[in-house]
Amino acid sequence: MINVVGLKKDYKTGKEVVPILKGVDLTIEEGEFVCIIGPSGSGKTTLLHLLGGLDTPTSGIISLNGSELTSKKEKERTLIRRKEIGLVFQNYQLLPTLTVYENIIFPLHADGRKASHEDVQQLLEAVDLVGYEKRFPHELSGGQQQRVAMARALIHKPKLLLADEPTGNLDRQRSSDILDLLAKFHHEQKQTIVMVTHDMFAAGYADRIILFKDGVIEAEVKREDDDYAKFLARFMA
């Protein structure tokens, strides 16, 4: 599904060049639920943005389903994102002038497609927002907003869902809801999920956990591995 080779990303602040990603190699299988954890500034979010084609790397290659993303122009990347990728962000990033319904169908609209009413209804039920279609984002709670964002990320049935700290702004209960939703969708639709988080409780949902530190993959562990917890403890300590 995803193949990352020698990925590097530098940021320029004034005259200084700060390397954020220092060479990342990574393969993610189709249908895998991967969680990327690591301290802030370790480059995990940057990796997610690169995977989503929101940014271009300084060097290195990202392939999605065998086609190279990194060599494409912004417009082409946008078109890929439109069709294949769903995005969820920490601060929801809903469009304030659109209603819940309009927010959800926006990716289809961007792609020039019409939304099937059943699809939207199904999603609304799944995220427990039936009856909220006409509300505007500012009329919703944080958890509800993130659920709208989830629905929006999934309306176009993307093969890849990228979630950047989806529970970062929420309390335990609400983040549990979101994670449950994520688990449910993953179980039912088997899309590939890459989630960036620093929340242990979120990490527990993944099949594989990748630890980022200082712009490189420090370690990774699979659910079935024995040293799973030890590995996590090292990161937490």
Residues binding other proteins (CB under 8 A): 49, 52, 54-55, 74-75, 78-79, 81-83, 87, 89, 93-98, 102, 105-107, 109-111, 114-115, 152, 172, 176, 179-180, 183-184, 187, 200-205, 223, 228-230, 232-233, 236-237
For the CB of residue 186, give the shortest distance to other proteins in the complex, in Å. Answer: 9
For the CB of residue 236, give the shortest distance to other proteins in the complex, in Å. Answer: 6
| Angle at which helices 172-189 and 117-126 cross, to 10° | 130
* Residue with smaller CB distance to other proteins, 113 or 213: 113
For the CB of residue 216, give the shortest distance to other proteins in the complex, in Å. Answer: 21
* Residue with smaller CB distance to other proteins, 107 or 143: 107
- The β-bridge partners of 63 are 3, 68
Q: Which of 85, 82, 89 is closest to 146 using CA atoms?
A: 89
DSSP symbols for 98-144? S-HHHHHHHHHHHTTPPPPHHHHHHHHHHTT-TT-TT--GGGS-HHH
Question: How many CA atoms, within 13 angstroms, populate the side-chain half-sphere of residue 197?
Answer: 27
* Residue with smaller CB distance to other proteins, 17 or 95: 95
* Residue with smaller CB distance to other proteins, 26 or 164: 164
What distance in Å separates the CA atoms of residue 74 and residue 136, rounded to the nearest whole number? 30
For the CB of residue 107, give the shortest distance to other proteins in the complex, in Å. Answer: 5
